[in-house]
Amino acid sequence: MLMIVGEPEQTSSTNFLFAKGNTELQKAVDGAVKQLKESGKLAEISTKIIGGVYEE
């Protein structure tokens, strides 16, 4: 059983906005983020900048 015992020390959220129907740009950004995750570079950057890895 898990229970919430207080407020989080830190939260983060990243969203990307695209013009409606701009699937080419969306696919390019999705691909780049996927590569960063798979290579471990996203975790490295997250740790350096915000002190931890916060992925869904």
| Cα distances (angstroms) measured from residue 6 to each of 3, 32, 50 | 9, 35, 20
pLDDT (tens digit, 9 = 90+) per residue, 1-55?
777 788 877 776 778 888 999 999 999 999 999 999 999 998 999 889 888 887 7
| Domain boundaries along the sequence of the chain | 21-56
> For residue 23, what pLDDT is reported?
93
Find the Cα–Cα–Cα–Cα dihedral 29, 33, 35, 39, rounded to 10°: 160
Query: What is the pLDDT at residue 40?
Result: 93
pLDDT higher than 70, residue 56: no
pLDDT at 7: 81
Instruction: Tell me the CA end-to-end span of the chain in Å, nearest whole number.
Output: 21
What phi and psi, each to the nearest 5 degrees, are found at residue 11?
Answer: -130, 160
